Amino acid sequence: MRPDDRQSDRVPLLKQRWEVQGGNFITAGNVSTKIKDLLKEIQISPDLIRRLAICCYEAEMNIVMYAGKGSMTLEIHSSELVLIVEDQGQGIPDINLAMQEGWSTATEAMREKGFGAGMGLPNIKRNADKFDLTSKLGQGTTLRVSITLT
Amino acid sequence: MTMLKQIIGSLELKVFCCKELTERPVVGGYCGDLLSDVMANTRAGEIWITIQAHPNIAAVASLKELTAILLANGREPLPETLQKAEAEKIPLLGSPLSAFELAFRLNRLLATNANRAEAHPS
């Protein structure tokens, strides 16, 4: 790859950012639906949309459940779809533990509604081609996933 | 191909909303009350049988392009759930039967229709 090519791929063809309100279970999922509709409109293949929709929903629910507020940014590059999820929540003390299927810090009230099964982050990782999760205690969490366009 | 309308009639389901959207094909079903499990394992075109009745089920069904949500055990949707299901165009159905009984009856109906289609290809 020539340096110019690499540079051009860093600038997305399209970039859009949405705010996500923490604690609001009524509107939870709305941003994911908007992202999915946008991808459909630009005719991304259904399988890739399905995978990114799962990543979006799980990430959005994590903001709703654990952070006061956050944002989701979609970048469309010529070779990949990138989702960046940032929140100003409490942070994740142990990322390895959080990645274990079934591990969850959800409250009893959340579990009764079917949330907090401890499947969210593993679901995201399973559906992404690249997965990067960083967190600082008391400051927040940043998740970056990408799906290669085929 | 089994249509949602036929399933509603055959299983005597209550239609809470989107009655005009029941001319849709159903390819299968899935039982689950954990939303991440449903996100991970359902396929587009399936009916989702659950006892969860809060608004977020409409978002899950819409994102996974499920044909309908079927509330088991006589559960009634919350008003916010109805509103969201209507907005997302997801038919919301109900039955007093358990998820186990509904899954059994649905599976039997889908299998019967599939066998008929195989015996008499159009």
For residue range A22-46, list pLDDT tens digits in order: 999 989 999 999 999 999 999 999 9
Which residues in A lie closer than 8 A to residue B39 (C-beta atoms)? 54, 57-58, 123
Average pLDDT for runs of 10 along chain B of length 122:
96 97 97 96 97 96 97 96 96 98 98 88 72
* Tokens read off for A105: 């810090």
In the predicted model, is pLDDT for residue A84 greater than 80? yes
Q: Between chains, do A33 and B88 touch, taking CB under 8 Å as contact?
A: yes
Residue A83 has pLDDT above 50, yes or no: yes
pTM of the model: 0.91
Give the pLDDT score at A1: 47
Q: Each residue of A110-135: pLDDT tens digit?
A: 999 999 999 999 999 999 999 999 99
Q: Is A130 on the interface with B (CB under 8 A)?
A: no
The mean predicted confidence, pLDDT, of chain A is 92
pLDDT at residue B116 in the model: 87
- Chain B residues closer than 8 Å to A115 by CB: 35-36, 56
User: pLDDT confidence of A4, banded at 50, 70, 90?
Assistant: very low
Asked if the C-beta of A102 comes within 8 angstroms of chain B's C-beta atoms, the answer is no
Alpha-carbon gap: A138 to the closest alpha carbon of chain B (Å) = 26
Q: Which strands form A130-136's sheet, in the order they lie side by side?
A: A14-21, A69-76, A80-87, A140-148, A130-136
pLDDT recorded at residue B122:
65
Residue of chain B whose Cα is closest to the Cα of A111: B34
Q: Does B77 touch chain A (CB under 8 A)?
A: no
Quote the pLDDT of residue A114: 94
Provide CB contacts within 8 A for B99, sequence distance 6+: B31, B49, B50, B51, B72, B73
A46: chain B residues, CB-CB within 8 Å? 44
Is residue A8 very low, low, confident or very high in pLDDT (cuts 50, 70, 90)? Answer: very low
Identify all chain B residues contacting A53, using CB atoms and an 8 Å cutoff.
63-64
Q: Residue A12 in 3-state DSSP?
A: coil
pLDDT over 70 at A9, yes or no: no
- CA distances (Å), origin A147, targets A27, A44, A75, B44: 26, 11, 11, 20
Residue A5 has pLDDT above 80, yes or no: no
pLDDT over 70 at A7, yes or no: no
